[in-house]
Amino acid sequence: MSTSLAPVAPRERIDVIDMLRGFAIFGILVVNTFYFFNPWYAPQLTEASSAADEVAHFVIYFFFVSKFYTLFSFLFGLGMFIQMSRAEEKGAPFVPTYLRRLFFLALFGLAHGVLLWVGDILFVYAVTGVILLWLFRKRSPRTLLVWAMILIAVPVLFIGVSAGALEFARMAPPESGVYEQIEAEFAVSAAQLEADTAEDYVIYGTGNFFEVTAERWRDFSGLLMVVGWFMLPSVLAMFLIGLRAGKRGWFTNQDEHRTTFRRLLMWALPLGLVMNFYVAITGFSQNQLGVELFGWETALQVAALNIGSVLLSMSYVAGIVLLSQTERGQRVLAPLAPVGRMALSNYLMHSIVMTTLAYGYGFGLFGQVGLALGFVLAVVLYAVQIPLSRWWLSRFRFGPFEWIWRTLTYMRLQPMKTKEKLAA
C-alpha cells in the first residue's frame, strides 16, 4: 500500500460535498458582485436607489449575506477531516502536506487580493487553517462544538461591548467632553472613508492596470487588517463545525445520519429565517460598520446576522443532503457538482470576469452597477459556469488553478487529462 498522499480520485469523491461547494460558490458570487463594481464602503442603497435595488437588498441580506462564506468555511473544515483521514489510512504524514497546501493557498490569496480584487478570503482561510491544524484537529466533537459557540459569540460580544462603551460615554458629564471627542473621532474616520471611496470610484473606474493595482494594494492591506480579522472568529467557528461533522461521520455515513439532518433542518431553518428576516427588514448593511456609530440596534443586527447565518447555512447543508438522497433531488443538484469540483478556479473566474467589466483597463463599468443589476450578472455568470465546468471536467481531472495548487502541494506534477483521454 502506498504511503504517499495524492489528490483524491474522481470516483472517491463524495458527490454531495461537491454539490454543496458548487451551491456555496453561487451564493458567494451573489454577495460579492456589488463590491466588484463599487468601493467596499460605498452605500448599497441611497435616496436614488430603485425599487429593484431595494428588493435585491432585502433578498441578498435575507438569504445570502454571511450564509455562504460560512457554508464554504464549514466545507473547508470538513475537507481537512477527509484529507486527514485518508492520510491516516495510508500511514502517510499529514501535517507537512497540509501546511504546504495552506501556504500556497495564502499565496493564491495574496495574488488574488493585489492583482484582481480586494475582497479575497483565501488568505484569511489559509491563516485560519493553520490555527485549525495546530490547535483543534485532535479535539473531540464536543470540544469542537463548545469552541465554535464561543467563537460565534466573539463578534457579537465585541459589538455589544462597543455599544455599551458608547452609551456609558454618552452619560458622562458634558463638561468632560468625552462623548464629543468620540463623536469627533468617528466623524474624522467617516470623512476619510468618504474621501477614500470617492478616490476609488475615480481610480478603479478610469485607471490603467498599474494605477488600479497600486490602489488595490492599499485597499486590500487595509481591509485585511479590519474586515479579515473581524471575520476570523466566524470562519474558524465554521471550520470547527465542519471538522466536527467529519468526525461524527455525517458524510461518510449519510444514511445513518438522515435523522440528524432532518432534526437540524426542523429547528435551524425557522430560527435562521426569523433572525435573517429581521436583519433584512431593518435595512442592515455590512459596510455601515466602517462609518456608523456602534449602537444597540447595530449590536442586535450583528447578533441576529452572526447567529442566524450559521443556522441558515446549516439548514442549507441539511436540505441539500436530504434532497440529494432522492432520485429527483439528484437530478436537480447534479449540475452543481462540477462547479464545486473546480471551486477555486470558478471563484477566481468571478474576479477575472467581473473586474474586467468593472475597471478602467476593461469596460469601465465601475460605479454603474447596483444591487439588482449585479444580481442578474451573478446569475448569468454562474449559468455559464455550470456547463463550462462540466465540459472542462469531461476532459481534465482538475480545474486549472486546482491543478496548480495540487502540483505545488504534493511537490510533483499532477496528471491533468482524465484517464479516459489519456487511454485514448
Give the pLDDT score at 419: 61
**pLDDT one-digit tens code per residue, 114-130:** 999 999 999 999 999 99
pTM over 0.75: yes
Domain ranges of the chain: 10-387
Q: What is the pLDDT of residue 289?
A: 52
Q: Tell me if 294 sits within 8 A of 265, measured CB to CB.
A: no
**pLDDT reading at 404 higher than 90:** yes
Mean pLDDT, rounded, for 254-280 = 93
Alpha carbon distances (Å) from 134 to 6, 140, 186, 246, 323: 22, 14, 38, 17, 35
The CA R_g of the chain, rounded to the nearest whole Å, is 22
Mean pLDDT, rounded, of the chain: 90
Confidence grade of residue 421 (pLDDT, cut at 50, 70, 90): very low
231 or 5, which is more confident? 231
- Which residues does residue 417 pair with via DSSP β-bridges, in sequence order? 396
Q: What is the pLDDT of residue 255?
A: 78
Cα end-to-end span (Å), the chain:
28
Instruction: Tell the residue number behind the cell numbers 478610469, with chain if given.
Output: 206
Chain position carrying cell 453561487: 26
> How is residue 9 written as a grid cell?
480520485
Q: What confidence tens digit (pLDDT) does each residue in 311-361 have? A: 999 999 999 999 999 999 999 999 999 999 999 999 999 999 999 999 999
Distances (CA, A) of 199 to 101, 230, 381: 37, 25, 28
Contact 285, 45 (CB under 8 A): yes
Three-state SS for the chain is: CCCCCCCCCHHHCCHHHHHHHHHHHHHHHHHHHHHHHCCCCCCCCCCCCCHHHHHHHHHHHHHCCCCHHHHHHHHHHHHHHHHHHHHHHHCCCCHHHHHHHHHHHHHHHHHHHHHCCCCCCHHHHHHHHHHHHHHHCCCCHHHHHHHHHHHHHHHHHHHHHHHHHHHHHHCCCHHHCHHHHHHHHHHHHHHHHHHHHHHHHHHHHHCCHHHHHHHHHHHHHHHHHHHHHHHHHHHHHHHHHHHHHHHHCCCCCCHHHHHHHHHHHHHHHHHHHHHHHHHHHCCCCHHHHHCCCCCHHHHHHHHHHHHHHHHHHHHHHHHHHHHHCCHHHHHHHCCHHHHHHCHHHHHHHHHHHHHHHHCCCCCCCCCCCCHHHHHHHHHHHHHHHHHHHHHHHCCECCCHHHHHHHHHHHCCCCCCECHHHHHC
pLDDT for the residue numbered 422? 35
Q: Which of 15, 38, 43, 125 is nearest to 77 (CA)?
A: 125
Percentage of the chain beyond pLDDT 70 is: 94
Amino acid identity, residue 203? I
- What the block records as the C-alpha cell of 60 is 441578498
